[in-house]
Amino acid sequence: MRFIHMTDMHITAEDQPLYGLSPRGRLEAAIDCINQDFTDVAFVMMTGDLVNRGTVGEYKALRTILKDLQVPHYLLLGNHDGREAFRQVFAGVPVDDNGFIQYVFEVEDKRFIVMDTLDEGKVAGLLCQQRLNWLTGQLDTQVQQDTFLFLHHPPLRLEGGEALAEMIGGGRIKHLFFGHVHRPLHGSWRGIPISSQHSTLHQFVYTFGSSIMQGCHEPPTFAAVNVVNGNVVINPHSYLDASPRFSLRSKAAMQAASPEELPPQ
């Protein structure tokens, strides 16, 4: 089975530019690529910051864009989102008994848990006791099947993250996917495999130890996640890459002095 993980779309109303880029154009390019080159994927998961200011107009714009996506898609909220406005436009997305937008879905023999880490009005995320109790209920009903978890905020510094780790450790979760950091990050946390991807829009500059937050136009990616025989293989795809293609067995290509001298493929 294969699915797509993309994150941090930051859609604006009426395609208002953001940091010199078109949020709508970037997401439409990703959708065009998926429709053309990833026709075998089971679904697309979008891990938050769906829109930029959490308004009804922005969610209506997102809904219009997503009509062109030819595979099922699932949504969760990030710190730029707003629950009330989201629910007005995407009324069919499930909510729990406390009004948090979190739910479980299954594809083939695999289980996917979507959690709401939004703390309204704040950048940092939160997993309060109500949300953790909900997760406990989902894990307690878990059968013998691979289970995956989606968040917006990275769990490492998330309030409630330590309690989360205690709940999902020991192999209860096969992989944890998140967004928010606008960078590809792959590794393990408390023994739990984790990963994030670039935003479909702007990226954060990674400067270790710096308190200054800078953005850049490093190319966006989404991830093609392959789940086969209990293994998880994540292939980031730079869907706007327009660099030349060439044969690795071509002597002329090997000897080219610049990209412009590469022989046509």
CA distance 104 to 184: 25
Q: Write the CB contacts of 109 (distance below 8 Å, at least 6 apart in sequence).
A: 145, 146
- Which pLDDT tens digit goes with each residue over 146-172? 999 999 999 998 999 999 999 999 889
- Count of the separate structural domains present in the chain: 1
CA distance 102 to 113: 8
Domain CATH number, residue 144: 3.60.21.10
Of 130, 168, 170, 129, the C-alpha closest to 149 is: 168
Of 238, 183, 243, the C-alpha closest to 215 is: 183
- Which pLDDT tens digit goes with each residue over 38-92? 999 999 999 999 999 999 999 999 999 999 999 999 999 999 999 999 999 999 9
Q: Do β-strands 73-76 and 203-204 pair in parallel, antiparallel, or remain unpaired?
A: unpaired
Q: What pTM does this model have?
A: 0.94
The neighbouring-strand residues paired with 232 are: 227
